[in-house]
């Protein structure tokens, strides 16, 4: 069995989903060799956890991206922020590592997106985009190839995740309201960590400036509901996904890694 080396940037609960999948045998052809976090303790926690069961490779914890990149891991999983992803992505690709990012919102920057494509092609590596908390990217890509298409993305969430956004005010705690309506590029600028899936939807279809995004706040709402509609003359599709927590995004990384290593790809 071919062994693939893996590193993780960002060591929160989504990264731990990936580490637990490794421990539980769901990624048998991967070995974790590096973890990175701004807080070294978080990186050390995950590396210690995997080192208890991974005996043929040792995982080291870092707080320096240069040290992590020096490992030349085959794949780097990013579960941090769009800014963190933009800070290391090009260097990782130029260093020969493929990347599996969750902070897809970074790709609303057209120049960065183009630079990433060029770097991946030049260095014979790839960027694998997980489905995150939505899914259906294959359907979206297929329908958008068939002719003129319209795409709408609607999110419902509670007010708590919006508290650090400029749209927040205390009335959201008692009143249901649409807090944003615009395109995906505008949405990720306002909500850097909340609408990565809207940007993923736009990349799979018409581009960040060409889909309608609506973000809605509901008092006491737990979790997120994403409703995507995509329509052309032949197809009318609707994806409606509710998730109580963000864990599904971490599991989408696990699924992507399994597809990379599998002889049969879904």
- Give the domains, in start order, of the chain with CATH numbers: 4-132+248-261 (3.40.50.720), 137-245 (3.30.360.10)
pTM for this one? 0.95
Query: Quick count: other Cβ atoms within 10 Å of Cβ 255?
Result: 16
Residue with tokens 């043929």: 56
The residue count for the chain: 266
Tokens representing 43 are 């990186």
Average pLDDT value for residue range 233-248 = 96
List, for residues 31-72, the tens digit of each pLDDT value: 999 999 999 999 999 999 999 999 999 999 999 999 999 999
pLDDT for the residue numbered 266: 86
**Confidence tier at 241 by pLDDT (50, 70, 90):** very high
Q: What angle do CA 57, 103, 7 make, to 5 degrees?
A: 10
Query: Quick count: other Cβ atoms within 10 Å of Cβ 233?
Result: 9
Among 63, 113, 123, CA closest to 91: 123
Range 186-189, long-range pairs (CB < 8 A, 24+ positions): 186/213, 187/213, 187/215, 188/82, 188/105, 188/108, 189/108
pLDDT of 80 above 90: yes
Tokens representing 135 are 């899914």
pLDDT of 256 above 90: yes
pLDDT for the residue numbered 174: 96
Q: Where are the alpha helices (DSSP H) in 145-204?
A: 184-190, 196-204
List, for residues 32-43, the tens digit of each pLDDT value: 999 999 999 999
pLDDT for the residue numbered 158: 96
Q: How far apart are CA 60 and CA 36, in angstroms?
A: 9
In this structure, are residues 65 and 9 in contact, taking their beta carbons and an 8 Å threshold? yes
Among 6, 21, 201, CA closest to 98: 6
3-state secondary structure (DSSP) of residue 157: strand
Q: Write the CB contacts of 208 (distance below 8 Å, at least 6 apart in sequence).
A: 107, 108, 110, 183, 184, 185, 188, 199, 202
């Amino acid at each position: 069995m071919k062994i693939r080396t893996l590193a993780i940037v960002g060591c929160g609960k989504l990264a731990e989903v990936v580490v637990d999948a490794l421990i539980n045998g769901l990624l048998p052809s991967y070995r974790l060799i590096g973890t990175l976090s701004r807080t070294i303790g978080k990186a050390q926690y995950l590396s210690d956890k995997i080192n208890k069961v991974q005996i043929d490779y040792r995982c080291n914890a870092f707080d320096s991206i240069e040290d992590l990149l020096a490992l030349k891991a085959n794949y780097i999983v990013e579960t941090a922020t769009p800014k963190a992803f933009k800070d290391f992505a090009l260097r990782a690709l130029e260093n020969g590592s493929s990347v599996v990012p969750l902070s897809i919102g970074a790709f609303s920057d057209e120049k960065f997106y183009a630079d990433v494509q060029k770097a991946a092609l030049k260095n014979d590596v790839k960027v694998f985009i997980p489905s995150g908390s939505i899914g259906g990217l294959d359907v979206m890509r297929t329908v958008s190839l068939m002719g003129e298409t319209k795409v709408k993305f609607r999110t419902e969430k509670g007010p708590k995740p919006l508290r650090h956004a400029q749209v927040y005010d205390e009335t959201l705690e008692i009143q249901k309201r649409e807090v944003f309506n615009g395109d995906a590029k505008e949405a990720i600028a306002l909500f850097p960590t909340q609408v990565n899936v809207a940007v993923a939807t736009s990349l799979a279809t018409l581009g960040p400036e060409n889909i309608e995004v609506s973000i809605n706040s509901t008092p006491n709402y737990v979790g997120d509901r994403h409703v995507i509609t995509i329509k052309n003359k032949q197809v009318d599709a609707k994806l409606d996904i509710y998730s109580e927590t963000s864990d599904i995004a971490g599991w989408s990384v696990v699924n992507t890694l399994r597809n990379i290593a599998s002889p049969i790809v879904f």
